[in-house]
Amino acid sequence: MPNFEARTHEGAGHLRVTLVGECDLAVRDELHAALDAAVQASPLVVVDLTELDFLDSSGVHGLVVAHIEAQARGGRVALVNAGGAVADVLDITGVGALLGTVSGEAAGG
């Protein structure tokens, strides 16, 4: 059984999707469903990576797809709290720079 969870919480002017555990091919559909629902519901989706231990190319792809879908709707997906190997993957792939981060209340949770 995959060690992954995507929790969505409503914030002031945004939705926060907290990714927990390991995000890989086994959870691709769950990731896409969570991000797609958030993008459709809010112009700003903040993806919190504090509790994410692993991110592979499937997860990176899911983030990019969400970014493209959000832009098509006039919205945005941003990342917060990436660390360790997850931050390295986002840096190496350029996805961290593509999506960027947010500040203020949206960044804090």
Sign of CA dihedral 17, 23, 27, 28: positive
- Rounded Cα distance, 4 and 67, in Å: 21
Q: Say what the pLDDT of residue 109 is.
A: 61
- How would DSSP label each residue in 52-89? EEEE-HHHHHHHHHHHHHHHHTT-EEEEE---HHHHHH
| Domain chopping of the chain, boundaries | 4-103
Query: Mean pLDDT for each 10-residue chunk of the chain (109 residues)?
Result: 88 95 97 98 97 97 98 97 96 96 74
Query: Residue 17's pLDDT is what?
Result: 98
Return the pLDDT at 75.
97
From residue 88, how far is each of 8, 93, 97, 100 by CA, in Å? Answer: 24, 8, 12, 14
Q: What is the per-residue pLDDT for 1? A: 47
Assigned CATH topology for domain 4-103: Transcription Regulator spoIIAA (3.30.750)
